[in-house]
Amino acid sequence: MAVAAIDHQRRVERLPEPAELAVELERVSVRFTTDRGTITALEGIDLTVPKGGFLTLLGPSGCGKSTLLRVVADIIQPTSGSARVFGGRPAEARSRRDIGFVFQDAALLPWRTVIDNVTLPLEVGGGAPAGRGRDPHELLDLVGLAGWENAFPHELSGGMRQRVSIARALVSGPRLLFMDEPFGALDEITRDRLNEELLAVWERTGTTILFVTHSIYEAAFLGQEVLLLAARPGRMRERVPVDLPMPRKIAMRETPEFVALVSHLRRVLETC
């Protein structure tokens, strides 16, 4: 696509300085050895994500999206290659509590109220790093749940539970937020609304976000850049910059630019 080609050129002209990077992967490969043989989950991944960036990851099931997040989060070690987070080792970022997670299932504690679920990370593991904790009430306001502080999870819809889990992930002030198909189980209207809200939260907090999705629309709408991965072995297929203006609104998905972007992503995805 011509647009992508021009943007690629621009990026080549001005590579970000290491100090501006949240994530750097250099030739990262991950292999798992199981009873059924060796699986190459990721092969030779080179990737940079600028501080404050929003990267969406798109690719078929098994292409290594979750594995890539686990490498950056120091949950698994690459078999070869190196990963850096804010210029240091992923383990350092983890011990500084730089990283927050939101998964497909909100996994709230049913016996705790909304506010007590949000403050949970402040009670375990030594609380928020000095000066980084955020006001849980403000966060609930930010995710549209002001007034629900004392409700219990069973009183909430799926979308509301996911909002709680986003507030919970942000309460200790992580600089990097991983979201692994967080809205995959929600209906389309709720998902659209949460997409808009997430972008507002991202703009307000300056958090760097890595967001995994199976939805081409979601990947295009949210990302400043979309990373397409191919499967078996999991490898980089294409990085597509997204030049849609901010703030983005769902109605933007009907513009010719958005439609062209989606059809480009779809064509590439068909070859992954």
Ligand X SMILES: Nc1ncnc2c1ncn2[C@@H]1O[C@H](COP(=O)(O)OP(=O)(O)OP(=O)(O)O)[C@@H](O)[C@H]1O
Helices (DSSP H) in the chain: which residue ranges? 2-13, 65-72, 90-95, 114-118, 120-123, 136-142, 158-170, 188-205, 216-222, 256-270
When asked if residue 215 is in the footprint of Mg ion (CB under 5 A), the reply is no
When asked if residue 44 is in the footprint of ligand X (CB under 6 A), the reply is no
When asked if residue 79 is in the footprint of Mg ion (CB under 5 A), the reply is no
Smaller CB separation from ligand X, 58 or 142: 58
When asked if residue 272 is in the footprint of ligand X (CB under 6 A), the reply is no
Please state, as a whole number, how many other Cβ atoms lie within 10 Å of the Cβ of residue 42.
25
Judged by CB under 6 A, how many residues of this single chain contact ligand X? 13
Q: Is the dihedral of CA 188, 189, 192, 194 positive or negative?
A: negative
Smaller CB separation from Mg ion, 71 or 114: 71
Place of tokens 């240091």: 88
Question: How many angstroms separate the CA atoms of 171 and 121, rounded?
Answer: 7
Residue 91 tokens read as 């383990």
Query: What is the three-state SS of 241-252?
Result: ECCCCCCCCHHH
When asked if residue 32 is in the footprint of ligand X (CB under 6 A), the reply is yes
* DSSP tag of 50: E
When asked if residue 34 is in the footprint of ligand X (CB under 6 A), the reply is yes
Contacting ligand X within 55-84 (CB under 6 A): 59, 61-67
Q: Which of 40, 66, 79, 215 binds Mg ion (CB under 5 A)?
A: 66
Supply the minimum distance, in Å, between the C-beta of residue 180 and Mg ion.
Answer: 6
Region of residue 27 (phi > 0: left; psi between -120 and 50: alpha; otherwise: beta) = left
The entry of Mg ion, ligand X, none near residue 34 (CB within 5 to 8 angstroms by kind) is ligand X
The entry of Mg ion, ligand X, none near residue 64 (CB within 5 to 8 angstroms by kind) is ligand X
Number of residue whose CB is nearest Mg ion? 66
Contacting positions for Mg ion (CB under 5 A): 66
- Provide the binding-site residues for ligand X, judged by CB under 6 A: 32, 34, 39, 41, 59, 61-67, 234
